[in-house]
Amino acid sequence: MRPTTRFLLLCTCIFTQPFIYPAAASAAPSTEMMANTCAMCHGTDGKALGKMEELYGKPANKIADELFEFKQENKGRVMAPLMKAYTDEQIRMIAKYFESLPPKKR
Amino acid sequence: MERNFTRRDFLSMAAAGAVVSLGGFGRAFAQSSQDKRVVVIGGGFAGATCAKYLRRADPAIQVTLVERQRNYVTPPSSNLVVTGLQPLSAITLGYDKLHLNHGVKVVYGNAVSIDPAGRKVALESGETLSYDRLVVAPGIDFKYAALEGYSEQAALVMPHAWKAGPQTELLRRQLEQMPNGGTVIITVPPAPFRCPPGPYERASLIAHYLKRSKPKSKVLILDANDGFAAQEGFMEAWQALYPGMIEWVPGSKGGGATKVDARSLTVSTRAGQHRGNVVNVIPPQKAGDFVDKAGLSDETGWCPVDAGSFESIRQKGIHVIGDSSIAGKLPKSAAAANSEAKVCAAAIASLLAERPVGDPSFVNACYALASPTYGLSIAGVYGRTVGGIAPLPGAFGVSPLKQSAKYRAKEAQDANGWYQNIVADSFT
């Protein structure tokens, strides 16, 4: 990156997001890494207890559609800000991950 | 986790069992030298989650969890016990499931020293545990010397109740015995401290209890800081639920406690002296004392770590997770601890297999109750950034203001669901 470009990028970050650092350009956590963060509310492997939404083994397009709705329409309480972290592709990957978990882990 | 056990489950388990035993047979020849040992010190949310997720990442890793106590009382939900809404037993857990479900070896004992060069941990019992990688997760300890008049003895009169257990019940009993018209003082230490919204949730739930049982009473928060987590949401809730009952004194107005006296139940600040009927002193905090002996903490009292693996900056081969670590903008919460533990487990599994460590991803999701049916939330997705660990752009949020009672009730329900699931994800 040329120094001027870097400087301009830095300015953009400083002036638009005063308390948020720019994400490293190379950041690409694995799908499993991202999906494991869901477990604190939705259970290990998405096997939820109580009234939380179950993700385990659910059809990927059903999960993804719901997550897109949270992201685009600012819905789902905490899910609204959380989904803004991910690209549409990452959301599809997370959804597929839960769909594809093997039955033997159940 | 309870599920109906069906014939199909039985068949799939039997099939899985066959695969596992073949795998075990193969390993005896191929991998005996590859069996790696990880020792985890501390069985809170961070340590328990890390032990479990290490075993999930690679069953060839032998994981030993060292924990002082057989039962763990969760700090989350302990404010419900303080205010009599739940018994202590509802938030008390054991470690059996980590062993039964995941093959974690649990050793009840006290780790006293580490030999980083020899990769060994010594226990008080005289036992020595060897490791390839060590995970240290001792939570917090108190800086008694930083608050004049406060000590372990003083805490028997002015409880902190910031480590859950007997202290939680002591504070509950004191509230029950307090006369109507009394004052409850909560002192809040300088940040960082465990559970940033915790003191204000406690003030809320105490007010909820007092409003019903001792309505002439008040809650006085003496705060060393000038602002707090979900402040606007709490203020809105206090106005709506407990008008005039909770007073918050920020640090700039002399809120910071400089001295406490257990005999007279008084708290001194720069601005004057306050006497309470119940005094809950949340003391200044640091990383669990064990890290100092191990040379893991810096001058702040907390432990600097690499953001991708949580390996100590100071000692190679040793990872520090949970409240003890310096984790950028992640708060000292059970949720952050759970998330850090998974990142650390994945990193250790990669390091032991000599694979590159992948990029981390963290979630923090914290709930606080302003009343049993009024929830507030703070949530964000965090990643590694040039400055350490921080929320990804746009991916951080606090409960919006001016919501309906139905919305607040849903967030209170989310809080319960969060508790149930994070406990299961971390300990079972």
pLDDT at B387: 78
d(CA B310, CA B306): 5
Chain A residues touching residue B358 (CB < 8 angstroms):
29-30, 33
Instruction: Give the nearest chain B residue to A18 (CA atoms).
Output: B393
Report whether B43 contacts B169 (CB < 8 A).
no
B195 in the same domain as B81: no
pLDDT at B25: 42
B87 in the same domain as B121: yes
Q: Helix, strand or coil for residue B128?
A: strand
The proportion of chain B whose per-residue pLDDT surpasses 90, expressed as a percent, equals 91
Is B221 part of a structural domain of the chain? yes
Is A64 part of a structural domain of the chain? yes
The pLDDT tens digits for B161-213 are 999 999 999 999 999 999 999 999 999 999 999 999 999 999 999 999 999 99
Instruction: Give the nearest chain A residue to B16 (CA atoms).
Output: A104
pLDDT at B35: 87
Phi, psi of A43 (to 5 degrees): 85, 155
Is A24 part of a structural domain of the chain? no
Is B354 part of a structural domain of the chain? yes
Evaluate the CA torsion angle B187, B193, B197, B202 in order and state its sign: negative
Q: What is the CATH number of the domain that holds A98?
A: 1.10.760.10
pLDDT at A44: 98
B310 in the same domain as B245: no
Nearest Cβ partner of B12 from A26, A43, A104?
A104
B235 in the same domain as B249: yes
Q: Which of A11 and B206 is assigned the larger pLDDT? A: B206
- Its domain, for residue B63, covers 33-139+288-359
Report, as an integer, the average pLDDT of B387-410.
96
B313 in the same domain as B277: no
Is A3 part of a structural domain of the chain? no
d(CA B285, CA B328): 17
d(CA B340, CA B335): 9
* Test mutation, A14, A78, A83, A90, chain B, max B CBs within 10 A: A78
- Its domain, for residue A84, covers 31-105
Is A12 part of a structural domain of the chain? no
d(CA A53, CA B387): 34
The whole-angstrom distance between A61's CA and the closest CA on chain B is: 22
pLDDT at B184: 98
Cis peptide before B192 (omega within 30 of 0): yes
Q: Which of B255, B284, B313 is the last residue of a domain?
A: B284
The pLDDT tens digits for B251-303 are 999 999 999 999 999 999 999 999 999 999 999 999 999 999 899 999 999 99
Distance from CA of residue B397 to its chain's centroid?
A: 20
A31 and chain B in contact, CB less than 8 A? no
d(CA B21, CA A86): 39
pLDDT at B386: 87
Q: What is the CATH number of the domain that holds B299?
A: 3.50.50.60
B77 and chain A in contact, CB less than 8 A? no
Judged on CB neighbours under 10 Å (0-12, 13-18, 19+), B88 is middle
SS3 per residue for chain A: CCHHHHHHHHHHHHHHCCCCCCECCCCCCCHHHHHHCCHHHHCHHHCCCCCCCCCCCCCHHHHHHHHHHHHHHCCCCCHHHHHCCCCHHHHHHHHHHHHCCCHHHC
Is B57 part of a structural domain of the chain? yes
Q: How many domains is chain B partitioned into structurally?
A: 2
Q: Helix, strand or coil for residue B171?
A: helix
B152 in the same domain as B279: yes
- Band of residue A91 on the pLDDT scale cut at 50, 70, 90: very high
d(CA B13, CA B7): 10
B320 in the same domain as B219: no
pLDDT at position B12 over 60: no
Q: Which of B324, B359, B394 is the last residue of a domain?
A: B359
DSSP3 helix / strand / coil % (chain B, rounded to 5): 35, 30, 35
Chain B residues touching residue A74 (CB < 8 angstroms):
none
B239 in the same domain as B309: no
Instruction: Give the nearest chain A residue to B411 (CA atoms).
Output: A77
Are A37 and B358 within 8 A, CB to CB? no
Is A46 part of a structural domain of the chain? yes
Q: Which residue has the tokens 């709506």?
A: B240
B162 in the same domain as B231: yes
Q: Helix, strand or coil for residue B183?
A: strand
Contacts of A64 (CB under 8 A, 6+ apart): A91, A92, A95
pLDDT at position B221 over 50: yes
Report whether B49 contacts B341 (CB < 8 A).
yes
Report, as an integer, the average pLDDT of B109-118.
96
Contacts of B22 (CB under 8 A, 6+ apart): none
pLDDT at B34: 65
d(CA B12, CA B33): 31
B161 and chain A in contact, CB less than 8 A? no
pLDDT at B293: 86
Q: How far is CA B35 from CA A32, B60, B122, B135, in A?
A: 23, 6, 21, 17
What single-letter DSSP state applies at residue B115?
A: E
Average pLDDT of chain B? 93
Following DSSP, what letter does each residue of B144-162 receive, concatenated? GGGSBT--TTGGGTS----
Q: How many domains is chain A partitioned into structurally?
A: 1
Return the structure tokens found at B9: 């489950």
B109 in the same domain as B44: yes
Is B13 part of a structural domain of the chain? no
B154 in the same domain as B117: no
pLDDT at position A20 over 50: no
pLDDT at position B158 over 60: yes
pLDDT at position B239 over 70: yes
Is B394 part of a structural domain of the chain? no
Q: Which of B284, B299, B326 is the last residue of a domain?
A: B284
pLDDT at position B30 over 80: no
Q: Which residues of B222-248 are buried (b: 16+ CB within 10 A; e: fewer)?
A: bbbbeebbbeebbebbbeebbeebbeb
Report whether B233 contacts B264 (CB < 8 A).
no
pLDDT at B29: 41
B174 in the same domain as B121: no
Is B90 part of a structural domain of the chain? yes
